C-alpha cells in the first residue's frame, strides 16, 4: 500500500508540474516582453540630446498639462482638442503629471512617450507574425518605429506626436487574428486607444472590413469602428475648423515634392541644411538614390512576389502616400515652407526643414524592405535559416547611421526644470501672485501654472 500511495503521489506531483509549466512559460515570456519594452525605451530615449529630453513640446504643456491641472489628470483624457480625441497623449501626460513633481514633467513626458513607442515596436513584432513567418523579418518590422531616421527631429519623445506611431500600429492590429478571448481584448483595447488618438485611422476602414469578413476577425475592426465613431462625435462637439478646409489650396506638385523630399529623402539624409544644400546644388538628383531604392523594392515585389506580398507592398505604399497627403492637405492654410516647386536657392537654404508629417509615411515605406526579403526567400535567394538574419542586421546598420540627431527642434530648450525653478522664485517673491507663465518650445508657446504648486520648491 505504501508503494501504491507513493506512486500515486508521484503521478499527482507530475501532473501538477505539467500544469504549472505553461504558467511559468507565460510568466517568463511576459517578463521577456517587458524587458524588451524597457530596453527599447532607453534606446529611443537616448536618440534625443539631453536638452531635448528635458524640454516640453507645445501641446504637451499648453493643452495636456494645462487640462490636467485644471480638470484633473484622468478626467482630462476624454477632453477633445483641435477636433478630435487624444487618448494616448493625454494618458501619458496624466502619468507624467501624477507620478513625479512638476519640475520632472518634461523628463517624464519624454521617457514615457518613448516607452509608448517601444511598446508599439514590441507589439509590431508580435502582430506581424500573422504576416511574416520568420522572426528575422518581424525584427525588421519591430525596429522601424524606434529607429525611423526622421523620428528624433520632432516626433520622438513628445506625447503630442504619438499619433503618428498609432497610424503605423493600426494595420498590424487589424491583420492580427487573436487566438484567445483575452488576447482579443488586448487587441481591442490597443485599437480603441489608437483610434481615439488619431482621427486619420479611419483610412484603414477598408482593411478592417476585409479583416472582418474575409478572416472572421472582429476584435480590432470593432474597436476601429467604435473609435472612429467617438472621433466623429468629438469633431461635432469641438470642431477643428470654423469652416470647411480648403483641400484644393495645396498645390499637387508641392505634395509630390514634399513626399519625395520628406518621406523618402529623410531616410537617406536627416539634416535639413544638408538636404537643402544638395537640392540647391544638384536639383532632383539629391533624392535620386533613395527614390530609386524605394521604386526598386516596390517593382521587385510587384514583379516577382506572390499576390500576398504584392498586396502588402501596394498597401504600404498607399498608406504612406495617404498619410502624407492628408497631413498636408488637411492643415490649411498652406505654409510657405511647403511651396517646394517655387523655392529659390536662398529659400532652400533658409526655409527648408523636415516636418513631423514624414514620420508615418517613412515607416510604411520601410516595410518594403522585409517584404522584399520575404519575396527573395520565396524565390530561394534566401534559403538557410541563419542567412535570414543578415537582412535585419544590415537594416540596423543602415538605420543606426541616423541614430544620433543633434539638430532636433527642441535642441535650444527652454529646459523645463530650470524654467520651473525661475517661476517658483517669482511666486515665492510675490505672495499675491496667483500664477506664472512658463515658456515651452516652440517659441511663443507658454503654459500658466498656479503658484500654489510652485511655492516653497
Q: pLDDT of 126-152, one tens digit each?
A: 999 999 988 899 999 999 999 999 999
Instruction: Work out whether strand 445-450 and strand 435-440 pair parallel, antiparallel, or are unpaired.
Output: antiparallel
Total-model pTM: 0.91
Q: Find, among 81, 89, 84, 82, the residue nearest to 163 by Cα.
A: 89
**C-beta separation of 228 from 260 below 8 A:** no
Dmax (CA) of the chain:
98
Q: Helix, strand or coil for residue 131?
A: coil
92 — pLDDT class (breaks 50, 70, 90): very high
Cα separation, 165 vs 144, whole angstroms: 10
Alpha-carbon distances, residue 387 vs 12, 219, 381 (angstroms)? 45, 36, 10
For the chain, give the mean pLDDT: 89
What confidence category does residue 7 fall into, taking pLDDT thresholds of 50, 70 and 90?
A: very low
| pLDDT at residue 239 greater than cutoff 90 | no
Q: Contact at 8 Å (CB) between 128 and 173?
A: no
Cis amide bond preceding 89, omega within 30: no
- Measuring CA to CA, how many Å separate 127 from each of 130, 139, 174, 181, 308? 6, 11, 9, 16, 17
Q: If pLDDT is split at 50, 70 and 90, which confidence band does 1 have?
A: very low
Question: Which of the residue ranges 179-193, 216-230, 276-290, 332-346 would you say has the lowest mean pLDDT?
Answer: 332-346
Question: Is 80 exceeded by the pLDDT of residue 23?
Answer: no
Residue with cell 511651396: 339
Query: Quick check: 406 pLDDT over 60?
Result: yes
The pLDDT of residue 246 is above 70: no
Most confident of 4-13, 39-48, 249-258: 39-48
Distance of CA 361 to the CA centre of its chain: 11
- CA-CA distances (angstroms) from residue 142 to 30, 45, 120, 172, 310? 17, 16, 8, 11, 21
Q: Which of 169-173, 307-311, 381-385 has the lowest mean pLDDT?
A: 381-385
Q: How far is CA 267 from the centre of its chain?
A: 16
Residue 211 CA to residue 91 CA, distance in Å, equals 29
d(C-alpha 315, C-alpha 168), whole Å: 12
Q: What is the pLDDT of residues 354-386, one digit of tens each?
A: 999 999 999 999 999 999 999 998 888 877 676
Report the C-alpha gap between 53 and 49 in whole angstroms: 6
Contacts of residue 46, Cβ cutoff 8 Å, sequence gap at least 6: none
Cell of 357: 508629417
Judge whether 447 and 440 are in contact, CB under 8 Å.
Answer: yes
DSSP secondary structure code for residue 437 in this structure: E
Amino acid at each position: 500500500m505504501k508503494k501504491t500511495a507513493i506512486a500515486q503521489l508521484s503521478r499527482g506531483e507530475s501532473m501538477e508540474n505539467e500544469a504549472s509549466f505553461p504558467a511559468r512559460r507565460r510568466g517568463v515570456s511576459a517578463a521577456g516582453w517587458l524587458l524588451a519594452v524597457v530596453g527599447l525605451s532607453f534606446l529611443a530615449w537616448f536618440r534625443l540630446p539631453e536638452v531635448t529630453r528635458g524640454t516640453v513640446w507645445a501641446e504637451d504643456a499648453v493643452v495636456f498639462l494645462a487640462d490636467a491641472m485644471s480638470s484633473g489628470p484622468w478626467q482630462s483624457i476624454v477632453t477633445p482638442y483641435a477636433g478630435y480625441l487624444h487618448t494616448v497623449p493625454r494618458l501619458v501626460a496624466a502619468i507624467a503629471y501624477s507620478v513625479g513633481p512638476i519640475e520632472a514633467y518634461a523628463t517624464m513626458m519624454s521617457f514615457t512617450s518613448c516607452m509608448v513607442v517601444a511598446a508599439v515596436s514590441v507589439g509590431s513584432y508580435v502582430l506581424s507574425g500573422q504576416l511574416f513567418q520568420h522572426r528575422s523579418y518581424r525584427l525588421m518590422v519591430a525596429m522601424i518605429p524606434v529607429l525611423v531616421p526622421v523620428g528624433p527631429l520632432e516626433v520622438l519623445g513628445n506625447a503630442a506626436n504619438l499619433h503618428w506611431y498609432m497610424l503605423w500600429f493600426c494595420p498590424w492590429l487589424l491583420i492580427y487574428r487573436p487566438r484567445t478571448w483575452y488576447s482579443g481584448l488586448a487587441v481591442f483595447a490597443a485599437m480603441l486607444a489608437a483610434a481615439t488618438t488619431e482621427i486619420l485611422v479611419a483610412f484603414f476602414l477598408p482593411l478592417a472590413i476585409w479583416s472582418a469578413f474575409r478572416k472572421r476577425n472582429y476584435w480590432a475592426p470593432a474597436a476601429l469602428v467604435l473609435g472612429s465613431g467617438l472621433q466623429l462625435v468629438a469633431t461635432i462637439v469641438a470642431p477643428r475648423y470654423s469652416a470647411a478646409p480648403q483641400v484644393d489650396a495645396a498645390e499637387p506638385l508641392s505634395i509630390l515634392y514634399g513626399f519625395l523630399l520628406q518621406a523618402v529623402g529623410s531616410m537617406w539624409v536627416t539634416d535639413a541644411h544638408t538636404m537643402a544644400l544638395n537640392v540647391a546644388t544638384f536639383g532632383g538628383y539629391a533624392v535620386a538614390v533613395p527614390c530609386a531604392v524605394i521604386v526598386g523594392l516596390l517593382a521587385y515585389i510587384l514583379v516577382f512576389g506572390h499576390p500576398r506580398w504584392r498586396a502588402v507592398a501596394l498597401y504600404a505604399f498607399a498608406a504612406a502616400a495617404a498619410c502624407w497627403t492628408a497631413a498636408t492637405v488637411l492643415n490649411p492654410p498652406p505654409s510657405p515652407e511647403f511651396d517646394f516647386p517655387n523655392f529659390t536657392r536662398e529659400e532652400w537654404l533658409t526655409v527648408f526643414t523636415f516636418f513631423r508629417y514624414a514620420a508615418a509615411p517613412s515607416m510604411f515605406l520601410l516595410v518594403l524592405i522585409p517584404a522584399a526579403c520575404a519575396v527573395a526567400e520565396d524565390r530561394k535567394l534566401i534559403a538557410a535559416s541563419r542567412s535570414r538574419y543578415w537582412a535585419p542586421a544590415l537594416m540596423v546598420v543602415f538605420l543606426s547611421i541616423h541614430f544620433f540627431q543633434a539638430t532636433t527642434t527642441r535642441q535650444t530648450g527652454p529646459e523645463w526644470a530650470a524654467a520651473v525653478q525661475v517661476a517658483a522664485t517669482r511666486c515665492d517673491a510675490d505672495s499675491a501672485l496667483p500664477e506664472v507663465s512658463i515658456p515651452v518650445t516652440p517659441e511663443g508657446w507658454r503654459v500658466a501654472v498656479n503658484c500654489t504648486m510652485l511655492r516653497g520648491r
